[in-house]
């Protein structure tokens, strides 16, 4: 009889690191929420990725130049960078308009979207149980959004876009995981994103530079805190993946919902209402169910 993978004692550190990763990402999103529209989106993203590129670039140099050769397929690296940049842009934009727990929960639809993409684009045979998780996740999304209630508007497209791009990002990352060095991969991602954002800033400097000059020192400090947290979160995730298989770690990624709710209450004095909380729970259950069903299929 096939059983789901259990967590060995040696993997407990990886699980703890994964939970710490979700707390770090939730804290980073909280800072983005606090910044709001005070910093132009392009400048916000450029600060986030240029900091990561510099930090990991220094790490790469200290490790030795030979690791730069462990990049895998360059086209996949470029695609990964673009997808993560789009994911961040959608997430940051969503945080400007929507409550932190709502943005986080809708972005957690990524495993369900991955299932649909596998069936539609890759013609994979998706079981009825996995489709049931997709339907359950869609129901959870409807509970959170409540179309026609007037609570939310078209802005929910941002976190849904974040979930979609992250699902594609995961597919590309899985392809690179066996061919590329993870630190090199994350450095290239940050470097490419920084170059793209610097180019956008240069193209629209007439519109962006006046807005950037209005940013206060306090908000620049918050941007630095956000970039530090985001980079640290990625490093924590790398350490977690070195200790524990991804199939074991992924369900613990939904701890970010709990941290997002906690930080939303602590920093902004807002908590989800009963229907939003219910929808968040349904989305989390459907996502974890999808991950566990995938793990069971791999054991067969």
Task: Note the pLDDT of residue 7.
Answer: 46
The DSSP output letter for 300 is -
- What radius of gyration do the chain's Cα atoms show? 19
Task: Note the pLDDT of residue 9.
Answer: 46
CA distance 295 to 300: 9
The pTM for the full model equals 0.84
3-state secondary structure of 271: coil
Render pLDDT for 223-279 as a digit per residue (tens, 0 to 9): 999 999 999 998 888 788 777 776 677 778 888 989 999 999 999 998 888 988 898
Per DSSP, the residues of 7-47 read: --GGGHHHHHHHHHHHHHHHHHHHHHHHHTTSS-HHHHHHH
Backbone φ and ψ of 153, nearest 5°? -125, -155
Task: Note the pLDDT of residue 4.
Answer: 43
CA distance 193 to 185: 12
Could you list the pLDDT tens digit for every one of the 300 residues in the chain?
A: 444 444 444 567 888 888 999 999 999 999 999 999 999 999 999 999 999 999 888 888 887 666 566 556 778 888 989 999 999 999 999 999 989 998 998 888 887 887 777 777 667 777 788 788 888 888 888 888 776 555 567 888 899 999 999 888 877 776 665 556 777 888 888 999 999 999 999 999 888 999 999 999 999 999 999 999 999 998 888 788 777 776 677 778 888 989 999 999 999 998 888 988 898 888 888 888 877 776 666 655
- Which residue stretches of 146-254 are H helix? 157-177, 182-203, 205-213, 217-243, 246-249
Whether 13 contacts 241, CB under 8 Å:
no
CA distance 259 to 112: 21
């Amino acid at each position: 009889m096939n059983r789901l993978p259990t967590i060995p004692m040696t993997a407990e550190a990886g699980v703890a690191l994964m939970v710490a990763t979700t707390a770090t990402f939730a804290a980073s999103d909280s800072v983005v929420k606090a910044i709001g529209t005070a910093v132009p989106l392009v400048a916000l993203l450029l600060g986030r990725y240029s900091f990561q590129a510099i930090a990991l670039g220094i790490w790469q140099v200290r490790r030795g130049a030979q690791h730069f050769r462990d990049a895998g397929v360059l086209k996949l690296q470029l695609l990964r960078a673009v997808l993560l940049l789009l994911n961040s842009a959608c997430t940051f934009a969503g945080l400007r308009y929507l409550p932190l727990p709502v943005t986080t929960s809708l972005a957690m639809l990524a495993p369900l979207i991955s299932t649909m993409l596998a069936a539609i684009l890759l013609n994979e045979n998706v079981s009825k149980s996995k489709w049931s998780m997709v339907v359950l996740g869609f129901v959870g999304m409807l509970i959170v959004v409540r179309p026609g209630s007037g609570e939310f508007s078209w802005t929910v497209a941002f976190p849904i876009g974040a979930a979609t791009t992250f699902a594609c990002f995961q597919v590309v990352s899985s392809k690179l995981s066996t061919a590329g060095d993870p630190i090199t991969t994350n450095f290239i991602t940050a470097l490419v994103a920084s170059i793209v954002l610097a180019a956008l800033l240069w193209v629209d400097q007439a519109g962006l530079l006046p807005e950037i000059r209005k940013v206060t020192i306090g908000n620049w400090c918050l941007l630095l805190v956000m970039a530090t947290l985001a980079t640290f979160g990625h490093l924590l995730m790398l350490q977690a993946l070195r200790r524990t298989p991804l199939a074991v770690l992924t369900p613990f990624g939904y701890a970010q919902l709990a941290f997002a709710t906690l930080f939303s209450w602590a920093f902004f004095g807002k908590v989800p209402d009963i229907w939003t909380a219910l929808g968040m729970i349904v989305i989390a259950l459907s996502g974890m169910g999808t991950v566990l069903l995938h793990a069971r299929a791999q054991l067969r």
